[in-house]
Chain A
Amino acid sequence: MADPTTYLSHLELGEPDKTFLDSSELIINMGPQHPATHGVLRVILKLDGEKVLGTECVIGYLHRGVEKIAEHRTYTMFNPYVDRMDYVAAVSNGLGYCEAVEKLLNIEAPPRAKYIRVILTELNRIASHQLWLGTHALDIGAMTPLFYTFRDREEILKIFEKYCGARLTTHAFRIGGCQYETYEGFEQDVKKFLDFVPPRIDEYEELLTTNRIWVERTREVGKISAADCKALGVTGPVLRASGVKWDIRKALPYANYSEFDFDIPTGANGDTFDRYMVRMQEMRQSLRIIRQAVERIPEGPIMAKVPKVMKPPVGEVYHSIEAPKGELGYFIVSDGSTQPYRVRVRPPSFVNLQALDIMVRGQLVADVIAVIGTLDIVLGEVDR
């Protein structure tokens, strides 16, 4: 492994404060094995005491070459692979990929399939946010919320398991609709979950939102302005917490999101606390969407007429959805054969992670942890 200092050569680092001790800067290698880097992220920190002068992310430890694999699989065969990128929001990944291929094939999923997709995707969003909340709180030192969120996430995973037999990498959707009809009692299960989870979200908030230490640890930490967000391509809750009311579900609706009534929660300061509040609100909005969807879900087929052998016409398409972490896009090039010529995944975590450096400059080591947590990255998606 190369000397960490070489990685930092290009950074324009501020001079450390000159003290009478003239303490030399400390270079700390955080990760790839570290309890708070959420996987195998490696961050090289340049410190003056505890103050961060600069960071450099070293990623790729989990690189599996998903995009290369896609070129050697048929469209259908590649579908399960996308679940392995953002594995805590596998359903969203599948939705994005299926819709992109459907667009390329110029087919449309039937209404019932769309409703099922929306219900499962929004459930997955809640699950992803719950996992984020638990680990983020754990990073900042509050142990207990982790177990509460995992307890409640379990209910979502149970619904997934009953629906498609898998809990994490669900492979819930197929190109053209859904493989499975909902199971007996699906709607009851979802409705039960809708009644059961809002008090639980209140419970998390009770533990954290009014906790003075939590507020002090998150307010004014890792601030990022709306302009910086746009310039760095940061999307999702991070962008919304900086005050930009932009959500692909509203801006460029996909599936049948345009039929539902929901709000886009935004923050004002763009700090860690705002991002926390935005995600908490998003969970409640997702519940709203699911409630509407469950009440209105129509009868009918769940699979469109899809050719047995998928050969999309020559052309390319870019389709993106609002994954729990931000804009998840698929750029697919077809050469008219059964295999995609090129699949490019635009991963939200990868792009958002770029903002880490400007978010932590001049702050303390403890804030780096808080900011990594608040960016809500999944290394499987960063490295693909």
Chain B
Amino acid sequence: MPVPWESSLVTQLKAQYGSGIREANTYLGQNYLVLDPSITHEILEILHEEEEFEYCVDITAVHYPKREKPFDLIWILYSFAKNQRLRVKTMLADGESFPSSVAIWPTANWLEREVYDMFGIKFDGHPDLKRILMPDGWKGHPLRKDYGIVQQDTEWVQVNLGIESGQ
């Protein structure tokens, strides 16, 4: 079970943002923060500028279709100086967009493109938000839970590959 994460960082953030910090826990020895979407971008900037989380390991999302806000958006950060890993999590509604963090970590460019490609989460201010792994013009976002495992964009396949089905 997750246990509360006690650290100066959490205390400081809680003092500043109060209830915006919804959770600050440790699970299996891994620290994570669950933040309110309105302050998440700001905190990411703080983590980069002041807390030396200069390496953005990964940006990804998880889809919970039954929830009111179905998307978990997750950043995995690492600090070389502290040798510490941190997960930051926020929740988004379907169709809601989120500020891009390319300006904070350039590596977010492709990672956010992949999240957009797979989940359809839009990032505001992203320099070139388009599909990365799926072909341009593909309909649907495959990693959403309502997207079937054998589902495909039949029309795209017919137009571009000239075959009836890719299966």
Residue positions of A touching B, CB distance < 8 A: 2, 10, 59-60, 63, 65, 67-69, 71-72, 103-104, 106, 230-234, 244, 246, 251-252, 315-318, 320, 327, 329, 331, 333, 341-342, 344, 346, 350-351, 353-354, 383-384
Contacts and interface: CB of A to CB of B under 8 A. Distances in A.
A231 to B, nearest CB: 5
The B interface, classified by DSSP as helix, strand, loop or mixed, is loop
Contact of A230 (B63, B76, B80): B80
B82 to A, nearest CB: 11
21 contacts: A10-B128, A59-B133, A60-B131, A60-B134, A65-B142, A68-B142, A68-B143, A72-B149, A231-B105, A231-B107, A233-B107, A317-B27, A318-B58, A318-B85, A331-B58, A333-B62, A342-B143, A351-B107, A351-B110, A354-B106, A354-B110
B88 to A, nearest CB: 12
Interface string B81-125: 001010100000000000000000111011100000010000000
Given A68-B142, A232-B106, A351-B107, A252 B54 contact: no
Contact of B74 (A65, A68, A252, A331): A331
B28 interface: yes
Interface centre among A234, A246, A316, A327 (most CB of B within 10 A): A316
B133 A384 contact: yes
B100 to A, nearest CB: 14
A106 to B, nearest CB: 7
Contacts of B143: 67-68, 342
Given A233-B55, A351-B111, A383-B133, A341 B62 contact: yes
Given A60-B131, A318-B57, 10 more contacts: A60-B133, A60-B135, A230-B54, A234-B107, A252-B85, A333-B62, A342-B143, A346-B76, A354-B109, A354-B110
Interface centre among A233, A315, A316, A341 (most CB of B within 10 A): A233
Q: 5 nearest interchain CB pairs?
A: A233-B107, A60-B133, A346-B58, A344-B60, A10-B128
B21 interface: no
A118 to B, nearest CB: 21
B4 interface: no
Given A72-B149, A354-B110, A231 B134 contact: no
Interface residues of B, number: 38
Nearest to A228: B106
B150 to A, nearest CB: 10
Interface centre among B58, B87, B109, B131 (most CB of A within 10 A): B58
Interface string B69-82: 00000101000100
Contacts of B2: 315
Contacts of B107: 231-234, 351, 354
Nearest to B134: A60
A331 B110 contact: no
Nearest to B117: A60
Given A230-B55, A232-B106, A354-B109, A318 B83 contact: no
B62 A318 contact: no
Contact of A63 (B54, B85, B134): B134
A384 B114 CA distance: 12
Contacts of A344: 58, 60
A69 B107 CA distance: 26
B51 to A, nearest CB: 14
Nearest to A239: B55
A270 B118 CA distance: 33
Given A69-B149, A232-B106, A106 B111 contact: no
A60 B132 contact: yes
Interface centre among B55, B128, B145, B147 (most CB of A within 10 A): B55
B127 interface: yes
Contacts of B134: 60, 63
B57 A327 contact: yes
Given A231-B106, A232-B106, A331-B60, A68 B76 contact: no
B54 A318 contact: no
A63 B133 contact: yes
A344 B72 CA distance: 13
Nearest to A12: B127
A146 B74 CA distance: 41
A318 B76 contact: yes
B30 interface: yes
B133 A10 contact: no
Given A60-B135, A68-B143, A69-B149, A317 B80 contact: no
A327 B105 CA distance: 17
B68 interface: no
B133 to A, nearest CB: 4
A57 B136 CA distance: 14
